[in-house]
Amino acid sequence: MEGITLNILKGITDNYINLTSTIITLVTIGLITVITIITYGLERRLNDKSPFYLKLFTHLVEGALLAGSMIILQQTFHVLNNGAVNNGWLYANAQLTILLYAMYLLRNKITLLINLLMPFAYHHSSNIERLGSSRWPFFLISYIFLVIIIFYIYWQTNSLKDSTIKYLTLQILYGAAWWILLWVDHSFSISNILNMLVVFVIYMAIIRYCEHKMQLTLNGYDTLKKAVNYDELTGIRNRSNLDKNSQEIYEQYSHEDNVPLSMAMFDIDHFKLFNDQYGHSTGDEVLRHVSHTMERELYLKKTHGQIFRFGGEEFIIIFRGKNADECKPIIIDLRNTLLHSPLFFNGKKLNVSVSFGVSELKPTDSGFADLFNRVDSYLYKSKNAGRNKMTIENVTYNFDETTK
């Protein structure tokens, strides 16, 4: 046993502590960094309601990234070795590392398929002569074992990420199955297989550490982005986000003759009284209650409305693809939902009403500011008419007298 241990340590020292192995390791880390960043950017654009073609395109791109990374590693190794395949386990371990990492990171059917087919596409592993070899039962058993491991990882990715023991165990089993498959076509000694398995575990440990650091960085970026674009109190988009997108919105819809754009601005009636009578904590709760109620209803009713907190108790809703008349029943619904959902806070029942101003983008508008100023004036008209009203294209309606 002591002799095997010494052989393993000697093998690691001779084969991995050198310039070639260092370059391969750095290339592997670089490829995984690229895969992580691109995948992160693609996946965060998807959700359960994303169209099938978008999901398929994303997964195909991720599969292409994985396949391309495997090819780059192989070509890098061949360049470093002047076309020879000596010490091929260097890039074999690197490729196995990327394959397994992709299973944890991507978890899509394209990645699953690549992992399942890779044993047949690997160097020499598709050699028909293996069927005449006395070792072919080992290939069959190891491949079945590998398939079980791959499917287990595919379905249990989240639990494996949270358990170091499970993660390490599956990693060792995955590597062992792969190296037995390769042993069928290449004559490795037991000490060499153990050597390669130990280095594979070390590779994965390095990659997992780097991935953890990258994830912290990306999460920090998301936190910063949210702080810049979302209101800290209510959690909805803020004025900065509206200002940043307003010119783009105007440019897009001012050239779309058949696709309307409407804006609604509303504020909370007599909001100052909530602060004066019950304190600022109650006022904050009223703001959260109104913004969350409006945002939820806009989503549930599939209105394509996007809400922003403009400042204080004022909010803006952008309705893409709807004219002012189409917005009227939506706004009535929003107001009625708010009216029938009073806020209960600190033992008090608080009824909240709102006033609206609504207008759509017109061909005569020279910029987003023209639409904004018009909507703002309509809002003040509703407030001056006694509040709890809406003004649409300069016509004021009393909510209690309107019908859809």
Question: Can you give the pLDDT at residue 132?
Answer: 61
Question: Can you give the pLDDT at residue 86?
Answer: 53
pLDDT digits (tens, 9 = 90+) for 105-125: 777 888 888 888 888 776 554
Question: Can you give the pLDDT at residue 42?
Answer: 78
Question: b/e for 136-157, b at 16 or more Cβ within 10 A?
Answer: eeebeebbebbeebbeebbeee
Question: Can you give the pLDDT at residue 6?
Answer: 52
- With CA atoms as reference, report the closest residue to 280 among 289, 293, 271, 267: 271
Domain 237-401 has CATH 3.30.70.270: yes
Q: What values do phi and psi take at 99, rounded to 5?
A: -60, -50
In sign, the C-alpha dihedral spanning 243, 248, 254, 256 is: negative
143 vs 305: CA distance, rounded Å: 52
Beta bridge partners of 354: 268
393 vs 402: CA distance, rounded Å: 16
Question: Can you give the pLDDT at residue 97?
Answer: 84
Number of Cα atoms under 13 Å in the Cβ half of residue 283: 15
Q: Are strands 389-392 and 395-398 parallel, antiparallel or unpaired?
A: antiparallel
Whether 33 and 218 have beta carbons less than 8 Å apart is answered as no
Whether 373 and 381 have beta carbons less than 8 Å apart is answered as no
Q: At CA 296, angle to CA 295 and CA 299, rounded to 5?
A: 85
Q: At CA 181, angle to CA 178 and CA 184, rounded to 5?
A: 150
Q: What is the location of CATH 3.30.70.270 in the chain?
A: 237-401
Cβ-based burial of 70 (10 A; exposed 0-12, middle 13-18, buried ≥19): buried
- With a CB cutoff of 8 Å and minimum separation 6, the contacts of 254 are 361, 363, 365
Q: In one letter, which amino acid is 323?
A: N
- Those residues of the chain that have pLDDT short of 50 are 125, 404
Question: Can you give the pLDDT at residue 7?
Answer: 56
Question: Can you give the pLDDT at residue 125?
Answer: 45
Instruction: Give the CA dihedral 75, 81, 85, 88, nearest 10 degrees.
Output: -80
Question: Can you give the pLDDT at residue 264?
Answer: 96
What's the token pair of residue 338?
Answer: 């708010």
In sign, the C-alpha dihedral spanning 309, 311, 312, 313 is: negative
Question: Can you give the pLDDT at residue 404?
Answer: 47
